[in-house]
Chain A
Amino acid sequence: MKTRITEFRKAMEMTQQQLAETVEVTRQTIISLERGKYNPSLELAHRITKTLKKRYIEDVFILNWDIPKL
């Protein structure tokens, strides 16, 4: 899943470590999320969205999926 964590984090002048400590995960998890290698749980996605002061999860996490045509 693509994310805009890096963009919003840098705009807030926040380091990966600071973000990790705020949402209570390790820095490696933030790195994986920023690279789009790990899909977070709904709770972690909410925590990150709130920390980055965004209203919706969709603002931060971009889902590359379309509804299949039936």
Chain B
Amino acid sequence: MIVSKKINTQKGIKKKYIVAISIIIIGVLFQIFEIGGNQFAGFPSLGIWIIFTGFITMAIVSINVLSKKEKIIDERMEHIGYKASRITTLILIFTLFATMIIDGIYTISTPYYLYASFLVCFYIFSYLIAYKLIERNN
């Protein structure tokens, strides 16, 4: 186990920017080759939505660069994170199971992309709550 590691380092920030730029490039390629249908998640096309996601990623990275200096993640935080992710995964499995049962009772007509985005938000939200609760007791 590593005692601590630094995040928000120059190298880490570069990697995050590379990811953001890659997402934008993928979006541009989708737009050029007209992959995907029109009207996706409230956007004119899938490509534009991916470009938008790339810019949001870039904005988040930039906010991190401007607001925070190098930050330490130590073994206790990793330990709490591990516990939180285990709990969150269990919650996610139960949620999916509940969704299957509800779908059996009456058909869910929510578009798949919308359901998936809800699920991602739910996962992040559950993780944050689980992390804070475990942190309080550790």
Q: Would B77 and A40 count as touching, CB distance under 8 A?
A: no
The answer to whether the Cβ of B34 comes within 8 Å of any Cβ in the partner chain is no
In which size bucket is the chain A interface?
A: 10 to 19
Q: Would A26 and B138 count as touching, CB distance under 8 A?
A: no
Segment at the A interface, from B13-21, B52-60, B68-76, B92-100: B68-76
- Residues of the A chain whose Cβ atoms lie less than 8 Å from the Cβ of B4: 24-25
- Residues of the B chain whose Cβ atoms lie less than 8 Å from the Cβ of A29: 74-77
Q: Would B138 and A25 count as touching, CB distance under 8 A?
A: no
The answer to whether the Cβ of B3 comes within 8 Å of any Cβ in the partner chain is yes
The answer to whether the Cβ of A43 comes within 8 Å of any Cβ in the partner chain is yes
Q: Would B75 and A25 count as touching, CB distance under 8 A?
A: yes
Q: Which residues of A contact B (CB under 8 A)?
A: 23-26, 28-29, 32, 37-38, 40-41, 43-44, 47
Q: Which residues of B contact A (CB under 8 A)?
A: 1, 3-4, 72, 74-77, 79, 135, 137-138
